[in-house]
Amino acid sequence: MLTAAASASPGLDQAWTALVNSRPKDVLRVLDHDRTSRPERLAWAVAQMSVQPATDDNMRSAESVFTELAGGDDEIAAEAAYLQARLYQLHYAQPDYAKAAELYQALAARRPESHWAQLGLVKLAMLKLYVLPDTTVAGADLLAPAEALLTQIHEPLLQRDLHLQIGQAGIELKQPLKRLLPHLVAADRVGGISGTAHEDLIVQIGVLSLRAGLPAQAKDYFERYLAEYPDNVRAWTIKRQLADAEQQLKAEDSR
Amino acid sequence: MRRRTRRFGFWLLLLAYGVASYWVFTRSTPVINERPVTIRFAHWQIERGPPDGVAAAIKRYEELNPRVKVEQLLVPGATIYPQWMRSNLAGGMGPDLMEWGMWMSGTKDIPARYFEPLTAELAQPNPYNRGTSQEKIPWEKTFHDQLLGPRRDSPDPGQIYAVTISETSVRLFCNIELLKTITGSVAAPKTYDDFRQILAKVQDYARRTGRLIYGLAGSRDNGLWVAENVFSGPLLGVTRELDDPGYLYLYDRNALAAYLEGRWNYHTPAVEAGMTLIQEMAKAMKPGFLQLLRNDAMLEFFRGEAVFIYTGTYDATTLRRMSTFKVVPMRLPSVTPDDPVVGRYVIGIGGEGSGETGVAIYLNRNSAHKAEALDFLRFLTSVPGNQLFTDNSGWLPSVNGVRVPDEIKNFREYQLGYTLGQAPFDIIGSEMNLVWNQNFYRLMGEHGSVGQFADALDQAMPVAIRKDLQNEMRNTLLLVRPQDSIIVATAELAAGPPADEAQSVRQHGMEAGQTMSEGLAFQMQLELEKTAGKK
């Protein structure tokens, strides 16, 4: 397998570092006249899609390189195919979600174990949740197409991210709480979510569990929140919610 | 002899001039005290106190780090700072460290465009805390509120972009002698209705005596702060109803979407109740207060023409140092369910939380001296650095383990209660805030009325709120798009050779954050499409 890094030269490392630091012009300046290897062509195209102002012309130049690279049989091919799909989803002035979905699907079919194919499946699932729902079946389950893709994802962190997205989409699409809650719990179990998203998720599972009539689960999450964030702004309200959960549990026991 | 001395003096002067010219044209740096690295730190806290606090921390830092010079840039906040910040950042000349606030209208895209996430660094202990109570504790957890604001205001849900250096709360500062003269008592109001009664007494006193005295010192800023406080009480119930995601916290995007869905408007009884309270507060200020600035309110208070000034503890040092009378800080009581005017719309007592830290400082992504800037930030928010800031500014610290001076200890006595929404429904978007401000006069004066104000708002808000939600979505995508190339580049650096685990962690963190942000953008897009035809 040839990754860009496997054939890394100091110049290429500098190019990736410049891209990490949002300096695509530096990369173009160096690689505009000399990009013979596949990794160099990938770096040039990535810089081309990032340079400001973003224009469709720039995206087309990047896409022609991605298309050529995607025809190979290495990790660069997977990266390029993934980025080509991203162009259609996000970077062209007018998104083409159907085309992006088609490219994600093709990548997953060709190189199912590649990280970029796996990441593409997460993005494909989100397209299916929000902008490409299955309208051929009346009353179709809105979460099912994304759940079907979940079975093809083997990387735990990406499984987590998709579980979280299915759960959040379930709320937005007004799906039954008991249908979406297992996805939120699954995302939490994988762990590693940082920042306010982590805090929000703990509160969310607690509150939605209480609303769904799952007081034991609600209690667990409220207690966890109070242990992790004892002084936080929501702690006072959560103590009240915890009392409600305990009351519901008592009522269940006495039945 | 004299002539020779004069000639010698002339040549000496000429030589000095030549050397000075050479230095200016070739070096452009001071002749002495030159240090290899200069970092610039810009903020708008030009009140009495903070510049002294930051200067004290800088002095000590420069002693510890002889290579580095830190320049403090004081830029006036309300009017100049946002434009100054944007033009400098856009021109690639932004300072290394900068203050930024979520509330600064028209600048929401700034963190995503120009600032560097600090998440990975915050997970490690702060080396300047060695030998203190915060040693070995991850930097993020050394903050009093574990950086609640920067986590909430992050453009990327998984990342933290700032650290805070202080903690502020809002208080009623009272001219206690004047209060006694007017009411015969120095007791602080225990309930919101007590406060209402005091304001009525002040009005009556002014009418009887002909003295120019108001209950509250008035200005646009102080008016907005007190409005935000009183508006929040009756909104708690509305916020709870709108909390579909179950966060016990209403994000702006959720409040905006709920308006477009028709789930609340400005005639919703609880919202009208909030506006009634705002009207009461406005009547306690001098006519035309909306045209005045925060400094005008301070002067009114210093002249003894207002019993209270409602402001942040960030003004406490100025009030203490400049008043000729005794100033006592008091808490503005929350409106409660037993309030005779609006109580039936209030579900419970509103809380102030446990102290949110503020004065958020960000690292410029394009800084030429990122490592040094980050190092100074670590010092400023270490126990010794933050202690210097607190002792010399009179402001609360943001960091655990810092001793709080006696005179400001009571700023940390917070009202506990429900805190379900971060912003009342006047500042959840910049367009809608503009409409609110343009129509605010309809609530004021003899002929002002809540109904008339609500009519005007509901006429104009659908368009404004739609624009705000579109802007929220656009800003989210603004963050998401450039991440594609950064993620791929980070993956390449992670793969090595040699393999770099830190880059790999960063890559996966960015992928998770990007996916979450994309999800939010999709949700906003769906809301906009769903409500497209609604008025």
The ipTM is 0.94
CB contact under 8 A, B145 and A233: yes
Chain B CB within 8 Å of residue A231 CB: yes
pLDDT at B28 over 60: no
**How remote is the C-alpha of B224 from its chain's centroid?**
14
Instruction: Write down the pLDDT at residue A1.
Output: 36
**Mind spelling out the 3-state secondary structure of B444-477?**
CCCCCCHHHHHHHHHHHHHHHHHHHHHHHHHHHH
Is the Cβ–Cβ distance between B178 and B160 less than 8 Å? no
**How remote is the C-alpha of B318 from its chain's centroid?**
18
Query: In DSSP terms, which residues pair with B163 in a beta bridge?
Result: B361
Q: What count of CB pairs under 8 Å joins A to B?
A: 178
**Which position has the token pair 């013979």?**
A36
Is the Cβ–Cβ distance between B527 and B469 less than 8 Å? yes
Helix (H, G, I), strand (E, B) or coil at B358: strand
pLDDT at B422 over 80: no
pLDDT in tens, B227-251: 888 998 899 899 899 999 999 988 8
Is the Cβ–Cβ distance between B277 and B267 less than 8 Å? no
pLDDT band at A215 (very low <50, low <70, confident <90, very high): very high
The C-alpha atoms of residue B121 and residue B124 are separated, in whole angstroms, by 6
pLDDT: which is higher, A223 or B479: A223
The model carries a pTM of: 0.82
pLDDT in tens, B245-259: 999 988 888 999 999
Is the Cβ–Cβ distance between A112 and A153 less than 8 Å? no
Which helix (H) or strand (E) segment holds residue B301: the answer is helix B294-302
Which helix (H) or strand (E) segment holds residue B174: the answer is strand B170-175
A161 contacts in chain B (CB < 8 Å): 511-512, 515-516
pLDDT at B421 over 70: no
pLDDT at A3 over 50: no
Is the alpha carbon torsion for B237, B242, B244, B245 positive or negative?
A: negative
- CA distances for A90 relative to A86, B118, B496, angstroms: 6, 26, 28
B419 contacts in chain A (CB < 8 Å): 233-234, 236-237
Average pLDDT estimate for B194-220: 96
Tell me the average pLDDT of chain B: 89
Instruction: Write down the pLDDT at residue B505.
Output: 86
pLDDT in tens, A68-77: 999 998 999 9
CB contact under 8 A, A83 and B511: no
A232 contacts in chain B (CB < 8 Å): 145-146, 148, 353-354
Is the Cβ–Cβ distance between A215 and B397 less than 8 Å? no
The C-alpha atoms of residue B98 and residue B361 are separated, in whole angstroms, by 5
At B524, list the tokens. Answer: 């906003």
CA of A170 vs chain B CAs: smallest distance (Å):
10
Say how many residues make up chain A: 255
B489 contacts in chain A (CB < 8 Å): 16-17, 19-20, 43, 46
The C-alpha atoms of residue B262 and residue B264 are separated, in whole angstroms, by 6
A203 contacts in chain B (CB < 8 Å): 246-249
Task: Name the closest residue on chain B to residue A218, using Cα atoms.
Answer: B246
Percent of chain A whose pLDDT exceeds 70: 94
Instruction: Write down the pLDDT at residue B251.
Output: 86
The C-alpha atoms of residue A14 and residue B493 are separated, in whole angstroms, by 10
Instruction: Write down the pLDDT at residue A9.
Output: 61
pLDDT band at B358 (very low <50, low <70, confident <90, very high): confident
Instruction: Write down the pLDDT at residue B29.
Output: 54
Burial readout B85-114 (b: 16 or more C-beta within 10 A, e: otherwise):
bbebbeeeebbbbbbbbbebeebbbbbbbb
Average pLDDT estimate for A100-124: 97
Is the Cβ–Cβ distance between A164 and A124 less than 8 Å? no
pLDDT band at A2 (very low <50, low <70, confident <90, very high): very low
Instruction: Write down the pLDDT at residue B423.
Output: 60
pLDDT: which is higher, A81 or B149: A81
Is the Cβ–Cβ distance between B513 and B157 less than 8 Å? yes
At B15, list the tokens. Answer: 């030589």
The C-alpha atoms of residue A203 and residue A232 are separated, in whole angstroms, by 12
pLDDT: which is higher, B204 or B312: B204
pLDDT at B300 over 80: yes
pLDDT at B195 over 70: yes
CB contact under 8 A, A236 and B416: yes
Burial readout B353-366 (b: 16 or more C-beta within 10 A, e: otherwise):
bbbbbbbbbbbbbb
CB contact under 8 A, A233 and B419: yes
At B455, list the tokens. Answer: 């009519």
Instruction: Write down the pLDDT at residue B535.
Output: 59
| Nearest to B100, CA basis, from B75, B126, B72 | B75
CB contact under 8 A, A211 and B246: yes
Is the Cβ–Cβ distance between A243 and B358 less than 8 Å? no
Chain B CB within 8 Å of residue A149 CB: no
DSSP string, B490-532: HHHHHH-SSP-HHHHHHHHHHHHHHHHHHHHHHHHHHHHHHTT
Rounded to the nearest 10 degrees, the angle between the axes of helix B220-242 and helix B252-260 is 70
The C-alpha atoms of residue B227 and residue B446 are separated, in whole angstroms, by 19
Helix (H, G, I), strand (E, B) or coil at A37: coil
CB contact under 8 A, A47 and B160: no
Which helix (H) or strand (E) segment holds residue B384: the answer is helix B383-393
CB contact under 8 A, A126 and B148: no
CB contact under 8 A, B486 and A6: no
Is the Cβ–Cβ distance between A164 and A201 less than 8 Å? yes
pLDDT band at B137 (very low <50, low <70, confident <90, very high): very high
Selecting from A6, A90, A171 the residue whose C-beta is nearest the C-beta of B480 gives A90
**How remote is the C-alpha of B488 from its chain's centroid?**
34
| Nearest to A6, CA basis, from B491, B433, B42 | B491
pLDDT band at A138 (very low <50, low <70, confident <90, very high): low
Residue A156: half-sphere exposure toward Cβ, Cα within 13 Å: 7
pLDDT: which is higher, B225 or A225: A225
Selecting from A157, A169, A237 the residue whose C-beta is nearest the C-beta of B419 gives A237
Instruction: Write down the pLDDT at residue A29.
Output: 86
Selecting from A6, A195, A204 the residue whose C-beta is nearest the C-beta of B246 gives A204
pLDDT at B27 over 60: no
Is the Cβ–Cβ distance between B516 and B157 less than 8 Å? yes
CB contact under 8 A, A49 and B484: yes
Which residues 6+ apart lie within 8 Å of B277 measured at CB? B230, B231, B233, B234, B335, B341, B342
Is the alpha carbon torsion for B489, B490, B493, B495 positive or negative?
A: negative
pLDDT at A7 over 60: no
The C-alpha atoms of residue B145 and residue B396 are separated, in whole angstroms, by 13
CB contact under 8 A, A203 and B246: yes
DSSP state of B55: H
Which helix (H) or strand (E) segment holds residue B327: the answer is strand B327-330
The bridge status of strand B357-363 relative to strand B306-312 is unpaired
CB contact under 8 A, B481 and A79: no
pLDDT in tens, A19-47: 987 788 888 888 877 778 899 999 999 99
pLDDT: which is higher, B78 or A156: A156
Is the Cβ–Cβ distance between B75 and B97 less than 8 Å? no
Average pLDDT estimate for B393-411: 89
Is the Cβ–Cβ distance between B154 and B353 less than 8 Å? no
pLDDT at B175 over 60: yes
Count of beta carbons in the 10 Å neighbourhood of residue B403: 10
Instruction: Write down the pLDDT at residue B17.
Output: 86
Angle at B395 between CA B391 and CA B396, to 5 degrees: 95
Task: Name the closest residue on chain B to residue A127, using Cα atoms.
Answer: B522
Which residues 6+ apart lie within 8 Å of B453 measured at CB? B266, B275, B439, B440, B442, B443
The C-alpha atoms of residue A67 and residue A55 are separated, in whole angstroms, by 18
> Percent helix, strand and coil across chain B, each rounded to 5?
55, 10, 35
pLDDT band at B32 (very low <50, low <70, confident <90, very high): low
pLDDT in tens, B99-111: 998 777 677 778 8
- Kindly calculate the radius of gyration of chain A based on its CA atoms and give it in whole angstroms: 23
CA of A33 vs chain B CAs: smallest distance (Å):
20
Give the lowest-confidence range in B69-73, B338-342, B353-357: B353-357
pLDDT in tens, B147-158: 888 887 777 766
The bridge status of strand B97-99 relative to strand B357-363 is antiparallel
Task: Name the closest residue on chain B to residue A126, using Cα atoms.
Answer: B519
CA of B305 vs chain A CAs: smallest distance (Å):
36
Say how many residues make up chain B: 535
At B451, list the tokens. Answer: 């109904």
